[in-house]
């Protein structure tokens, strides 16, 4: 038995109860789908682009929408809207707290330009703005860290877009939930490290700086999510990039043996990668052999949606177990809160 298998050890560091939230993620996704199903905002015909205003964990709703939309989706992480906002645009403002300054500013700009919009939050100023301007607002349950509410945020938005005919896929929601449950069954805390792939991967990354590599237009959002979860849950540096772009620059960064010490690479693949990108993953793995520890991670499920979201779910477990190995509570993000207080004071 290792420390990752000892309930006492998990309870000692996981004071915020993050493991319970992660293990309830498939149920949260089911609830998110139901929330979106019951939310019927009036979306104009002729929408040819979507701007999702969101930051941090809330922005993942936009990244998931971007991955599966049949129209261009731009995830806006700024105070202002991009210059192409205008006719044919739909704005979706997503802020779990409802108080994210950049998201509120982006929505305000859209409202001044009379661009159709709806909002998603657990309350806060975003709900007040929606009410005062008469735009639809979907309230999701309170009490979570924004990054831990992805099921509520992303799945509700995805369901709304599906109802509006703005997705290029026909989601099999039950197959998605089944894939997520498969990840949970294999990776939950009760499964010992000897049989638990998430604990094993966390162990291999412990004490190292992980580099997460996805593929363009497919697992790129997974790599970004893994990176941010390691930052926030595990409280350590991590980085991400995308194949094939990294083969044109970042690959050369492994040349100096001194500078690659302490790095680990995780390649994220699934059945929907372009064949050329699958070959690139294989070649990268071969080139790094003996230089940098590297592992290739696949996905559960049959559909594009289930494979992408199951990889995200698996990454949440990995970041959690890495936090325990780092002997730190995965829930609080004090540096973020301190930064917000300083910004507010100014």
CA distances from 202 to 23, 196, 266, 317, 326 (A): 17, 10, 11, 9, 10
pLDDT cut 70: percent of the chain above it = 100
CA 51/CA 106 separation, integer angstroms = 10
- Please indicate, yes or no, if residue 332 is contained in any of the structural domains: no
- 276: pLDDT strictly greater than 70: yes
Catalytic center residues: 232, 248, 340
- 18: pLDDT strictly greater than 80: yes
CB 267 within 8 A of CB 227: no
CA 96/CA 247 separation, integer angstroms = 36
Find the range with the poorest average confidence among 84-93, 239-248, 282-291, 331-340: 331-340
* Same-domain pairing of 273 and 260: yes
Give the tens place of pLDDT for each residue, 20-42.
Answer: 999 999 999 999 999 999 999 99
Which pLDDT value is given to residue 242? 98
pTM for the model stands at: 0.96
* Same-domain pairing of 197 and 223: yes
Which pLDDT value is given to residue 343? 87
Q: Which two tokens stand for residue 113?
A: 């330009």
β-pairing, 89-95 vs 294-297, is unpaired
- Band (pLDDT 50/70/90 cuts) for residue 346 is confident
pLDDT cut 90: percent of the chain above it = 97
Range of the structural domain that residue 61 is part of: 18-163
* Same-domain pairing of 316 and 257: yes
- Please indicate, yes or no, if residue 123 is contained in any of the structural domains: yes
In the listed set 133, 163, 193, which residue is the last one of a domain according to the structure?
Answer: 163
Which pLDDT value is given to residue 149? 98
CB 92 within 8 A of CB 118: yes
* Same-domain pairing of 85 and 207: no
- Please indicate, yes or no, if residue 344 is contained in any of the structural domains: no
Q: Which two tokens stand for residue 101?
A: 């300054």
- Please indicate, yes or no, if residue 42 is contained in any of the structural domains: yes
Q: What is the mean pLDDT of the chain?
A: 97
Please compute the mean of the pLDDT values over residues 50-73 and round it to a whole number. Answer: 97
* Same-domain pairing of 134 and 237: no
Which pLDDT value is given to residue 293? 97
Q: Which two tokens stand for residue 47?
A: 């929408």
Cα dihedral sign, 315-316-319-324: negative
CA 225/CA 313 separation, integer angstroms = 10
- Please indicate, yes or no, if residue 342 is contained in any of the structural domains: no
Which pLDDT value is given to residue 279? 98
Locus of tokens 């109802």: 163
CA 182/CA 62 separation, integer angstroms = 25
- Please indicate, yes or no, if residue 287 is contained in any of the structural domains: yes
* Same-domain pairing of 83 and 153: yes
For the chain, what is the domain count? Answer: 2
* Same-domain pairing of 11 and 29: no
Which pLDDT value is given to residue 194? 97
CA distances from 103 to 54, 78, 93, 135, 185 (A): 5, 7, 6, 15, 36
* Consecutive H or E run containing 198: helix 197-205
CA 308/CA 214 separation, integer angstroms = 11
- Please indicate, yes or no, if residue 107 is contained in any of the structural domains: yes
* Same-domain pairing of 116 and 199: no
Locus of tokens 């990995």: 318
* Same-domain pairing of 198 and 143: no
Residues forming beta bridges with residue 137, ordered by sequence position: 119
Specify burial of residue 63 (Cβ count, 10 A radius: 0-12, 13-18, 19+): buried
* Same-domain pairing of 96 and 209: no
Is the bond into 43 cis (omega within 30 degrees of 0)? no
- Please indicate, yes or no, if residue 340 is contained in any of the structural domains: no
Give the tens place of pLDDT for each residue, 214-231.
Answer: 999 999 999 999 999 999
- Band (pLDDT 50/70/90 cuts) for residue 340 is confident
* Same-domain pairing of 9 and 62: no
Which pLDDT value is given to residue 344? 86
* Same-domain pairing of 205 and 182: yes
Please compute the mean of the pLDDT values over residues 138-145 and round it to a whole number. Answer: 97
Which pLDDT value is given to residue 1? 63
Angle, in degrees to the nearest 10, between helices 173-187 and 197-205: 60
Please compute the mean of the pLDDT values over residues 257-280 and round it to a whole number. Answer: 97
In the listed set 112, 129, 163, which residue is the last one of a domain according to the structure?
Answer: 163
Residue 85, domain CATH = 3.40.50.10490
What residues contact residue 134 under an 8 Å CB cut-off, 6+ apart? none
Q: Which two tokens stand for residue 65?
A: 């929408």
Specify burial of residue 54 (Cβ count, 10 A radius: 0-12, 13-18, 19+): buried
Which pLDDT value is given to residue 135? 97
CB 227 within 8 A of CB 287: no
In the listed set 163, 189, 224, which residue is the last one of a domain according to the structure?
Answer: 163
Q: Is 71 helix (H, G, I), strand (E, B) or coil?
A: coil
Q: Is 152 helix (H, G, I), strand (E, B) or coil?
A: helix
Q: How far is residue 272 CA from its own chain's centroid?
A: 18
């Amino acid at each position: 038995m290792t420390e990752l298998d000892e309930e006492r050890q998990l309870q000692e560091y996981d004071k915020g109860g993050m493991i319970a939230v992660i293990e309830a993620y498939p149920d949260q996704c089911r609830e998110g789908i139901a929330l979106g199903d019951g939310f019927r905002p009036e979306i104009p015909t002729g929408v040819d682009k979507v701007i999702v205003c969101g930051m941090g964990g809330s922005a993942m709703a936009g990244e998931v929408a971007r991955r599966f939309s049949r129209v261009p989706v731009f995830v806006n992480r700024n105070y202002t809207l991009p210059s192409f906002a205008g006719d044919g645009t739909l704005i979706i403002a997503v802020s779990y707290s409802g108080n994210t300054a950049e998201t509120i500013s982006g929505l305000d700009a859209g409202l001044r330009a009379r661009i159709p919009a709806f909002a998603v939050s657990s309350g806060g100023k975003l709900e007040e703005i929606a009410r005062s301007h008469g735009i639809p607002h979907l309230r999701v349950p309170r009490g979570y860290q924004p990054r831990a509410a992805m099921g509520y945020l992303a799945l509700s938005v995805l369901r709304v877009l599906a109802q509006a005919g703005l997705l290029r896929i026909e989601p099999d929601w039950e197959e998605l939930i089944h894939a997520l449950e498969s990840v949970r069954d294999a990776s939950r805390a009760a499964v010992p490290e000897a049989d638990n792939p998430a604990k094993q991967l966390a162990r291999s990354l412990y004490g190292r700086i992980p580099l997460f590599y996805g593929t363009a237009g497919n697992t790129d959002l997974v790599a970004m999510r893994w990176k941010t979860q390691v930052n926030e849950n595990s409280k350590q540096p991590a980085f991400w990039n995308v194949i094939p772009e990294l083969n044109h620059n970042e690959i050369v960064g492994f040349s100096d043996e001194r500078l690659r010490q302490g790095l680990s690479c995780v390649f994220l693949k699934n059945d929907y990668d372009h064949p050329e990108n699958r070959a690139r993953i294989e070649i990268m793995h071969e080139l790094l052999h003996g230089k940098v520890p590297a592992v290739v991670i696949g996905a559960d499920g049959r559909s594009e949606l289930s494979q992408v979201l199951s990889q995200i779910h698996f990454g949440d477990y990995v970041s959690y177990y890495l936090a325990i190995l780092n002997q730190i509570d995965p829930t609080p993000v004090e540096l973020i809160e301190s930064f917000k207080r300083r910004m507010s004071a100014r």
